């Protein structure tokens, strides 16, 4: 009986996980709970418990700046996630050809992800600055009429952020998808070659469906990065011109620290949490259905 209890409740493992459990509960669960709670209050500079129901949410969705932020994150998310997955898979296929100096190429592609988002934002701000970057360089080379300054145009500035997001995120997507490709049985690739299937069709219609777990991991990671994007925006545009590149995370921080409106800031933060919960719920449902199919088989 004692041996069975030790196997069921290994004391060293339980003791070792206590700090992680306390941090997870104390920081994440409690923090999220209080954020949701304060979103239903009239909290200003300091949190209070003067409940006002859904008033903060109604005010939030009646604010132009928040509506622009939500529209921006949809544009940024759709383009950056889609391009990161496509470019990441193309890079993974390229790396899967057993090229020379593979480690060097992997380091080069992963380097942007290792950089701080502040540094990434500053680099792309300089590259797209009309007085310092590409436009200035082209005009110095003789193309006086060349014009390329997206960060100063309210209609185009969001796409400058997308370019920086793709540059920063495609490398880590490549690493995840490359691991998925390397996990496919080599006999499958040999069978495809014997059947005369072109490489591009094999990678697209055979390899890609077999690495759904890697694709899902890369997708969730990119979704979380998009929802909490803040440093990149602050470094590149500061949310401007005007508030044309404001993102929900920027809106929340400014609302709490500058405008001192904790209640509405927490309401915005709660709205930011919903997409992540939806993605997690979808992933959980898919895993549950997969487990049921495996048991039925």
Chain segment 6-44, per-residue pLDDT in tens: 555 666 767 777 777 777 777 778 888 888 899 999 888
Task: Determine the pLDDT at residue 188.
Answer: 87
The more confidently predicted of residues 16 and 226 is: 226
Task: Determine the pLDDT at residue 4.
Answer: 57
In-domain check, residue 226: yes
Q: How far apart are CA 91 and CA 180, in angstroms?
A: 13
Kindly tell me if the per-residue pLDDT of 268 is higher than 60: yes
- At residue 157 the predicted structure's pLDDT band, cuts being 50, 70 and 90, is very high
In-domain check, residue 33: no
Kindly tell me if the per-residue pLDDT of 276 is higher than 60: yes
| 66 touches 251 (CB < 8 A) | yes
Cβ density class 76-99: b for 16+ within 10 Å, e for less: bbebbbebbbebbbebbbebbeee
In-domain check, residue 289: no
Task: Determine the pLDDT at residue 107.
Answer: 84
Full domain range(s) for residue 182: 67-260
Q: What are the beta bridge partners of residue 41?
A: 51
- Count the domains in the chain: 1
In-domain check, residue 36: no
Q: How far apart are CA 178 and CA 218, in angstroms?
A: 11
Q: Find the mean pLDDT for residues 47-75.
A: 92
Whole-prediction pTM? 0.83
Task: Determine the pLDDT at residue 75.
Answer: 94
Give tens-digit pLDDT for 67-101.
999 999 999 999 999 999 999 999 999 888 877 88
Q: How far apart are CA 284 and CA 290, in angstroms?
A: 10
**Pick from 155, 128, 175: nearest CA to 72:** 155
Q: How far apart are CA 124 and CA 234, in angstroms?
A: 12
In-domain check, residue 293: no
> What 3-state DSSP class applies to 195?
coil
Q: How far apart are CA 138 and CA 127, in angstroms?
A: 12
Task: Determine the pLDDT at residue 104.
Answer: 86
> What 3-state DSSP class applies to 153?
coil
What is the pLDDT of the chain when averaged over all its residues? Answer: 85
Q: Find the mean pLDDT for residues 162-169.
A: 91
Give tens-digit pLDDT for 91-129.
999 888 877 887 888 888 888 888 888 888 888 998 888
Query: Which CATH number is 142's domain given?
Result: 1.10.3720.10
CB atoms within 10 A of CB 206: 15
In-domain check, residue 37: no
CB atoms within 10 A of CB 159: 15
- At residue 294 the predicted structure's pLDDT band, cuts being 50, 70 and 90, is confident
**Pick from 165, 282, 176: nearest CA to 231:** 165
> What 3-state DSSP class applies to 246?
coil
Least confident of 28-37, 171-180, 196-205, 280-289: 280-289
- At residue 1 the predicted structure's pLDDT band, cuts being 50, 70 and 90, is very low
Q: Find the mean pLDDT for residues 53-80.
A: 93
Query: How far, rounded to the nearest angstrom, does the alpha carbon of residue 238 sit from its chain's CA centroid?
Result: 19
In-domain check, residue 286: no
Query: How far, rounded to the nearest angstrom, does the alpha carbon of residue 69 sit from its chain's CA centroid?
Result: 16
In-domain check, residue 198: yes
Q: Find the mean pLDDT for residues 135-146.
A: 84
Task: Determine the pLDDT at residue 195.
Answer: 84
Q: How far apart are CA 243 and CA 190, in angstroms?
A: 54
CB atoms within 10 A of CB 35: 19
């Amino acid at each position: 009986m004692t041996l069975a209890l030790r196997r069921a409740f290994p004391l060293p493992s339980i003791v070792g996980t206590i700090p992680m459990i306390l941090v997870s509960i104390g920081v994440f669960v409690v923090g999220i709970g209080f954020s949701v709670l304060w979103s239903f209050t009239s909290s200003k500079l300091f949190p209070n418990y003067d409940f006002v129901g859904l008033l903060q949410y109604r005010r939030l969705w009646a604010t132009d700046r928040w509506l622009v932020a939500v529209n921006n994150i949809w544009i940024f998310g759709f383009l950056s996630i889609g391009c990161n997955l496509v470019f990441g898979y193309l890079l993974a296929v390229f790396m899967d050809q057993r090229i020379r100096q593979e480690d060097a190429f992997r380091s080069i592609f992963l380097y942007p992800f290792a950089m701080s988002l502040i540094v990434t934002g500053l680099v792309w701000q300089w590259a797209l600055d009309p007085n310092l970057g590409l436009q200035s360089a082209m005009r110095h080379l003789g193309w006086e009429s060349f014009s390329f300054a997206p960060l100063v145009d309210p209609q185009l500035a969001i796409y400058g952020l997308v370019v920086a997001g793709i540059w920063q995120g495609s490398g880590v997507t490549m690493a995840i998808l490359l691991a998925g490709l390397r996990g496919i049985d080599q006999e499958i690739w040999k069978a495809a070659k014997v059947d005369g299937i072109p490489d591009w069709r094999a990678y697209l219609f055979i390899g890609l469906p077999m690495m759904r777990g890697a694709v899902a991991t890369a997708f969730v990671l990119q979704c979380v990065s998009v929802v909490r994007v803040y440093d990149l925006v602050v470094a590149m545009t500061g949310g401007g011109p005007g508030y044309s590149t404001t993102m929900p995370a920027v809106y929340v921080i400014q609302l709490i620290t500058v405008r001192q409106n904790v209640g509405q800031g927490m309401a915005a933060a709660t709205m930011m949490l919903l997409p992540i919960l939806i993605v997690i719920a979808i992933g959980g449902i898919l895993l549950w259905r997969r487990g049921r199919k495996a048991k039925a088989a």
